[in-house]
Structure 1
């Protein structure tokens, strides 16, 4: 399910971080027997032809899958490897959350992204990023190198699931936050908004963009996700350290299907991150946020 942009279908943050696993090995068997009789030879050739056709099909499928991911990342070898962005136009809807003054020396501690809504003023992030007061919190989309190319937006009301508030349920570590107007304009009118994707395939290829707290520019990475638990997704992308909680998992260029958070508030090492699975509970939370805006 996808909520289209502009439609209703409907302090203290932590700096957690991420477990890596090996890739499965594949083996090949090579038949060695030769047949001298014509009948057996023909049957053997037909079998080899069928095997060859099957192998060709598998190669095409494999190449197509790799090419799809590589098209997002720039090259197949770049999958799972992050790199910094010092020009942020392509990811302008993603921004750093600052506590206090916005500058190259400022305190940005989490990441968020604009999500489309009828109210045109919502961002999505991790619940643990905004579990306290939003006073003195600011969203700076496209922030890089001390610059705020799309303005500094004051945060308003945060909507969190009561079950996360009561017990920090890792499957509900998601929040929607209103952003106050700036110079008479709403944030979605300036930047547009990602679609909210619910019940998405758990093996999609996504782009992950976020703001490490010890850096002055976002990093971005492309890789295929996988299920971790029934309510959690996992992705291997390097260097997502403290400050990247709330980073959006974007698929198809315009649909967000997760944010770094959930398991251990995003993970215990920098190179593997987690997200709560965006299902009906997240959709209901989104509707509550829209209604409250």
Structure 2
């Protein structure tokens, strides 16, 4: 596996201005994906499980995309590790999750991030083989986030060549985008998805199978991809299953 590039990622570039903000940037290039380009996701309860990760408020600087996964406590999100822990800064503070965000409207409110679980090998040296994170959020109005919008079951050891849809929030837009395609092997432990349009802010976007299982998130190799037309994810296998169990405990 090539070493981690110095400048990569689909996470938003942010700076510290009276708060801790995430730093990461994309090096844009020509898209790939057999001519496919992501389009605005139609309004559908399934897309409301996907939302923005931003600083302090829905209108604050955006870090990435995250989505709700089914968990015993009904309060768990999945995203990319580089969205929530920067190797130079550490774990990020003040993040909020806003599911179903569109055009300035937050139909379910914003859910404060309470804890972040990443693999120690990511924390140590940002190993792209462990670029995934699980995030717990606090309750809002006495409800957990999964009670409000539902959650996608985690899928591990599913293999390659699966039909998926990938949905996320590019920073230049105020609505989620989505595209469907088939996963391919980038390496035995990394996979790829080809469709244009996945720019800053789409790191952490869930890869959902036709059965609704999340089997990846934009991240991993090149922190998700150096061009907006090819996206990557670590393969969801025992690494992710173990991390999920830790976060759910």
**Contact 1:98/1:138 (<8 A) preserved:** yes
Q: Of residues 65, 74, 81 in structure 2, which corresponds to 1:120?
A: 74
Aligned twin of 2:52: 96
2:33, 2:99 → 1: CA distance?
36
Gaps in structure 1 of 5+ consecutive residues: 1-10, 24-78
1:13, 1:121 → 2: CA distance?
26
CA shift, 1:22, in A, is: 8.7
Aligned twin of 1:157: 115
TM-score of the superposed pair, with normalisation by structure 2: 0.85
Q: Of residues 211, 232, 236 in structure 1, which corresponds to 2:190?
A: 232
175 and 13 in structure 1: CA distance in 2 versus 1, 3 angstrom threshold: farther
Residues 7-18 of structure 1 correspond to what in structure 2 (within 5 A)? 11-16=21-26
Aligned twin of 2:8: none
Q: Which runs of 4+ in 1 moved over 4 A?
A: 17-23
Residues 54-65 of structure 1 correspond to what in structure 2 (within 5 A)? none
2:100, 2:179 → 1: CA distance?
16
What does the per-residue CA deviation read over 1:60-85, in whole Å, with 9 as the maximum and x for residues that have no partner? xxxxxxxxxxxxxxxxxxx8321013
Aligned twin of 1:82: 38
| 1:185 to 2:143 alignment | yes
Q: Of residues 206, 210, 222 in structure 2, which corresponds to 1:264?
A: 222
Name the SS of the counterpart of 2:154 in structure 1. Answer: strand
Aligned twin of 1:61: none
CA shift, 1:109, in A, is: 2.4
Q: What is the root-mean-square deviation in Å for CA atoms of aligned residues?
A: 1.9
**Contact 2:33/2:194 (<8 A) preserved:** no
**Contact 2:191/2:234 (<8 A) preserved:** yes
TM-score of the superposed pair, with normalisation by structure 1: 0.72
Q: Which has the larger radius of gyration?
A: 1
Structure with greater proportional helix content: 1
**Contact 1:81/1:222 (<8 A) preserved:** no
161 and 273 in structure 1: CA distance in 2 versus 1, 3 angstrom threshold: same
CA shift, 1:171, in A, is: 1.4
CA shift, 1:87, in A, is: 2.6
